[in-house]
Structure 1
Amino acid sequence: MPNSRQLTLQNSIRYFFAAIFWIPVVFFSLLLVRNTLPYFSFNQQFSFIEERAVLFLKPAYKASFYIHIFAGMFCIIAALTQFSSYILKKRKAIHIWMGKIYVVVVIVLGAPTGLYMSFFAKGSFWERALFMFMALYWLYTTIKGLQSIKQKNILAHKNWMIRSYSMAMTAVTFRVYHIIFYYYGADHLFNYEISLWISVLGNMLIAEYFIFRKSKKYLNTFNHLKIIRS
């Protein structure tokens, strides 16, 4: 059995690696929100809007765009509260209510508008198909997360919401990869496509890694308790 010094060292290492992961996540999430807010001035002189000027003549597309970026911005901030152990332990009401709002925003606003906009996405058929997959996967994982907590299956709830959050975070990771490839001199269209694919597939793999780690830890704890009680 590990002594107190070993446990302290293990905890310190765990907190260190958690900080390495979460500090950039929080920073780039807040940066995305900051960069999204100017769009709500409804000024048309943004490169994204100028590239899609014809689409923005369609009221449905224009409304979907503003609803989608609002939903994405909110979900990224709301999700940060869902993975805080302090909030979960000390301010559980915040976790519950922000979680409920997150689910509603994804199901009613974020995923449907994302699915609609995917039909007009830049790139080839495969990029549009990927955007469709993202919207449907985001919707599906969020619904499964809601169903599992209603069934009081906390482990399944955590796992499905990690997957849901991984899709919300593609808005952040895509921009990070895009900047990296831009500085390496990648062609604009290639940069867009490769950043998109790495962001989606990378986020899914990272989510599954976290789920594997959490599930393994849960099973080890469960087996340890069985041994003690037997």
Structure 2
Amino acid sequence: MLSAKRNTSIFFKTLLVLGFGYFFWLMLKITLEYIPYNPEVSFLMIKQTEVSERPEYLSFFYTHVYTSIFVLLSGFLAMLRKNFGFKNFHRNMGKVYIFLILIFAAPSGIYMGIFANGGLLSKISFVILGFLWWFLTLKAYQLARKKRFKEHKQWMWRSFAFTLSAVTLRMWKVIIVYLFHPNPMDVYQIIAWLGWIPNILIIEYLITKKLI
């Protein structure tokens, strides 16, 4: 029985790592589209009004894009809670994750949310997402400083649920477009909320059930 449970645990962990690896690669490919610096590529092609009228927009955009990929990776490695033979690896990954979110990724995300596609509903969602992402991460950091590590772990999972919105909103976009073929702006309004609300609800359920 114990052997079966252990094998099941190993299977799901392996599946988790492989799944994350796949989606991380997809996100990395998106990030690499913006290297080298080019204000007229991919997503920026539909943001030329902001690019031309707001000199700071590109700085915030590239800050968000370039830091978010490292946030995603460091967050996942921190969530694994393993040192992999390196002293304080888990702790250092957590520090990188928290620092990048609080100083770069979340603030730039909030700014970009103000100019999000999809109208007011999308803007509200992305701004809320940015503020909650920042707050949850700060709370996790404060709890770690107080050595309340059980609570720290839970708040880190909440933060990571918002980090994963970069992946899940794109998943929802593919599903919705494939099934319903809606207007592009309608898609933005829908995925702006679907990208993070189911994530945090799942994490809250797992915390309530003491599964994480």
TM-score (norm 1): 0.84
SS at match of 2:107: helix
Return the offset for 1:189: 2.3
Partner of 1:129: 124
Q: Which has the higher helix share?
A: 1
Q: 1:53-202, aligned counterparts within 5 Å?
A: 53-57=48-52, 58-87=54-83, 90-187=85-182, 188-202=184-198
1:52 to 28, 47, 55: 47
CA distance in 2, matches of 1:70, 1:147: 26
SS at match of 1:184: helix
Return the letter of the residue paired with 1:66.
Y
CA distance in 2, matches of 1:112, 1:50: 23
Partner of 1:34: 29
Contact map agreement 2:107 2:130 (CA 8 A) in 1: yes
Return the offset for 1:138: 0.6
Give CA-to-partner distance per residue, 1:162-212, whole Å, 9 cap, x none: 111111111111111111222224212232222232221111112223323
**Cα root mean square deviation, aligned:** 1.9
Return the letter of the residue paired with 2:11.
F
CA distance in 1, matches of 2:211, 2:58: 45
Give the gaps of 5 or more residues in structure 1: 1-5, 218-230
CA distance in 2, matches of 1:38, 1:84: 29
Contact map agreement 1:79 1:102 (CA 8 A) in 2: yes
Partner of 1:226: none
What is the percentage of aligned positions where both structures have the same residue? 28
What is the number of residues matched between the two proteins? Answer: 210
CA distance in 2, matches of 1:11, 1:61: 50
Return the offset for 1:27: 1.3
Partner of 2:207: 211
